[in-house]
Chains A and B, each alone.
Chain A
Amino acid sequence: MQQFVNLTLGGVITGAVYAAFALALVLIWRSTRIVNFAQGAMAAITTFIALSLIESGQSYWVGLVVALLAGLVIGAVVERLVIRPVEGGPELNAVIVTLGLFIAIQALISVLFGVNQRAFVAPFSTIGFRVGDNSLALSPNTLFTLGAVLLVMVGLTALFRFTRVGLAMRASAFGQEVARLLGVRVGRMLTLGWALAAVVGSLAGMLIAAEVTFVTPTYMDALIVFGFVAAVLGGLDSPVGAVVGGLLLGLLLSYVRGYVGDELVGLAALVVLVVVLLVRPGGLFSTTQTRRA
């Protein structure tokens, strides 16, 4: 029983981080129809910037704020300079560009920060709460992780539902040409979308770094796979789907890790991906029946 409870708790927590990362992918897919494979590397470089600050004596919170701001800037710059030329072109071009960006940024991290494993200290205690004699897979730090993801989701929902900018961003996502004719600066909305997505990605990077306690230039590689599977599971078009997909995948992988074996986690994620694509290619929350390949 204790194992089940702990696996469930652990699943919810990693699921929340997958959800945040999937959300970042969905934000970009919705507005530009591009899967941003560089998302993980973009998040990793902001984590390394934060880590350098923290190691030089700054507090975790300064590091976090700087990481999120760096994410904002990197997202906007990447969209304007690298993605804009391939927007609206063949999909393969965009895929190749984001893959190239992924490799380039990862190499840049190695050059700037070295390839060695570095310790990442969590902002709160990672020692689990105790219920009687049992230790739970729930610590002050995991509560922080959950809270941060929740806050970002509420914030994004409010932005899209209740503000004019959010409305303009949604309009741009549904019909660029029409939105443009109605006076929406569509280009600006796309830049903003990438910037916001990069902020969410950076947050996921910071949170996962605190969970795994060690970072290397490639530490986000697993997360991009899980985040992508979560996004496809929920339906690439649906922010709600990304969150639900993230939580479901987190739970499933946690049970696989606990009951079957650690080495099968990656395989299980890919099985989920293949099954979803075979059975329900639009995802659990698809609103559209057809999807361009």
Chain B
Amino acid sequence: MDIFLQQIINGLVQGSIYALVALGYTMVYGIMGLINFAHGEVVMIGTLVTITVAGTMIKAGMPVVLAGFAGLSASVLVCMALGWGLERIAYRPLRNAPRLTPLITAIGMSIVLQNLAMMIWGRNYMTFPPLLPKMDFEVAGANFTAVQLIIVLVSSLTMGGLLLLVYRTKLGMAMRATSQNPAVASLMGVNINRVIAAAFVIGSALGALAGVMVGTYYEIAHYQMGFMLGLKAFTAAVLGGIGNLAGAMLGGVLLGIIEALGAGYIGDLTGGFLGSHYQDIFAFIVLIIVLMFKPSGLFGEKTGDRA
């Protein structure tokens, strides 16, 4: 039973990170129907910027709290600028292009960002500076650390804030209107360009936050880390019903828990034939099964033909 609880906690932590990244995918997709393949790289750059800023400050003897905040703000700012730039330079000129064109652009940008990061930070694994105190808690036989607790808390708060933004502010209303029908929204006086840019900037800021969390959790970072993370997060977004904010959050958490439980129990279930290194296939198997029965995701509304 305690293994079960332990895996639930691990899954919840991993899932909150997926959820934050998934929000970046789902916001952009909901508004303009684009899979922003480069989003995972934005998250990666967020992590690496934090390493540079916070790491340098800690080495210079500054207090860890200050370094942590500086690192986080720097990475959020850099990623927001990156998200804005991506939209402005790469995607905006393609708004009326055939559907697959922006997808190839996104893949191209992803390759560009990955290799830029490799040029700047090198191809070796980097250690993430310890920003949070190491503390362990024990509840009902399961352990969790302060880092895990803070990740879950901060991501819940952030997601709550995002929901408020989207459902209680004017910008949020403009975003929802644009995602329903850009042409009509623009007739109602919504500045489409600003709304789309906002979606990219907000999504990237969430991605930066997720990047910092990944760094603190795994204490290691690499220029290729964004790829699998982005893939899983996108899977989570589709699982929840892409374009749907609450869906992305729940999909992310669900995916994290399924992965953790799957990795914990697959050995027993298959009599030792498959081991925990099959962890990565759960995300995709669950996705395929869910989409077979609910083609628009768990919480997605029935959408029209986008093909």
State yes or no: do A and B come from one complex: no
Chain A residues with CB under 8 Å of chain B are: none
